[in-house]
Amino acid sequence: MLGQQFVTAAAIAASVLFILSLGGLSNQEKAKRAVWYGIVGMGLAVFSVMLGPNIGNYWLMIPLMIVGAVVGTMVAKRVEMTQMPQLVAALHSFVGLAAVFVGWNAEMERARVLALKAAGESLDGLSAFAATLAYKTPAELTFLQVEVVLGVFIGAVTFTGSVIAFGKLAGKIDGKPKKYPGGHALNAGAAILSLVLAIAYLNGAGFWTLLLIALLAFFIGWHLILGIGGADMPVVVSMLNSYSGWAAAAIGFTLSNDLLIVTGALVGSSGAILSYIMCKAMNRNFVSVILGGFGGTQGPAQEIEGEQVSIDAGGVSSALNDADSVIIVPGYGMAVAQAQNAVSELVRKLRSAGKEVRFGIHPVAGRLPGHMNVLLAEAKVPYDIVLEMDEINDDFASTDVVIIIGSNDIVNPAAQEDPNSPIAGMPVLKVWESKQVFVCKRGQGTGYSGIENPLFFKENTRMFYGDARASIDSLIPLID
């Protein structure tokens, strides 16, 4: 009894800490403390379950926890901020696969208990989970089966979807959308067949139905994310975060773990809300994105006139020295080059020279929501000069110089000018309205989504080719 009381109290405390953590992450100044709330809450959750009633096999559990902690520490130390999006996707896949295994195990235990009871054999020696099943009513066991089906299906979709998202974010899989003949019909057919198998399972068809449901869901997750283009990948990461939360909640119901239910619901609902907000910011239809409906071409793209004109550090620094107002637009290229500290130093020199310097941040800049904000905060850039798209978009027309560092799709005028563009209708930073635009870019290739950018060919745009950090470093000594 004492053990259960401890687990209940710890679950409430951990839930409160998780809620405080989520709430604090909405503010940059409170985010560090909010992360610690989450860390303490997770530590409390792990140890409360470990020390709870009917828990054993510590000889196996503790070594596995140590191995997991060591691996997690090593990965965390090696992962750069540029790799954070794919790391998040990879971690989502673990949650999904865990849900599948828990669901399978729960069904095997349920079938075992029913077989023992039917044969009139002793129920001694059962696992703690199986022992609880022995006292459930037929209605409660049916409800458990529903939980198992949902956990296996959602978990399997999350697993393969996250693996594909990881591959696209890491550049191991082409970021362009790819669908096999049949497209959405294949996904719909697999979902309908999964529903038929779920009904058969609930009517006693056996474990094989869960195996087939998992295989079909693996296909849906794989094909679904494969068909979503790079322009929508930040939404995909958030969406998979939501899926992993609901998978965790399903595990919680199966295991009768209140903390998993609460935590999963928090992650699932917050991920869904974030996905919706991001879709709204990108002028996307939420349902269409999660069904793989965006990311492909809508028709022949408009022809681009002009040519890309390059400029050297001397030309850029001269324009900066003459400017009164400067807006910097960072993107994934800044993260790849680890140029945030060089950018911070450039900003310091420009502000010391009396220039007005601000940052324009698109809601989906980088490959993870908030990616650029974290990098700039790490480089000690003042919070008050880092502005969101809605706050700064009307100011470009009165700005002397815009410096774009590794951004592409979020500054692409085709979103507003070309109805056939894959990103047509997506709100973008209207950098082309400024007097001069300088683009720090490695080469003349397209962005992550593979879409050509007419901005690079405009008369007031100059291409500042090279590694972003080296390019910015070359500007700093030239600022008067």
Residue 409 catalytic? yes
Task: State the alpha helices, DSSP H only, in 305-434.
Answer: 313-322, 332-337, 340-352, 371-378, 389-392, 414-417
The residue among 434, 386, 430, 379 whose CA lies nearest residue 407 is 430
Please enumerate in sequence order all residues whose Cβ is within 8 A of that of 365, keeping only pairs 6 or more positions apart, or say none.
Answer: 329, 330, 331, 332, 371, 372, 407, 410
Element (H, E) at 438: strand 436-441
**Residue pair 41/7 in contact by the 8 Å Cβ criterion:** no
CA dihedral defined by 143, 94, 229, 388, rounded to 10 degrees? 100
Distance CA 428, CA 364 (A): 10
Q: What angle do CA 444, 399, 384 make, to 5 degrees?
A: 100
Considering the candidates 124, 174, 384, 409, report the single residue annotated as catalytic: 409
The single-letter DSSP state of residue 203 is T
Q: Please measure the distance between the N-terminal and C-terminal CA atoms of the chain and give it in whole angstroms.
A: 73
Tell me which residue of 249, 19, 46, 204 sits closest to 111, measured CA to CA.
204
Q: Which two tokens mark 87?
A: 């790391």
DSSP assignment letter at 408: -
How far, in Å, are 234, 425, 428, 450 from residue 281 at the CA level? 12, 10, 9, 21
Residue with tokens 């869960």: 210
Angstrom distance (rounded) from CA 126 to CA 146: 23
Residue 475 has which token pair?
């500007």
- Containing 3, the helix (H) or strand (E) segment is helix 2-24
> Rounded to an integer, what distance in angstroms lies between the CA atom of residue 150 and that of residue 396?
49
Helix (H, G, I), strand (E, B) or coil at 437: strand
Which residues are known catalytic residues? 409
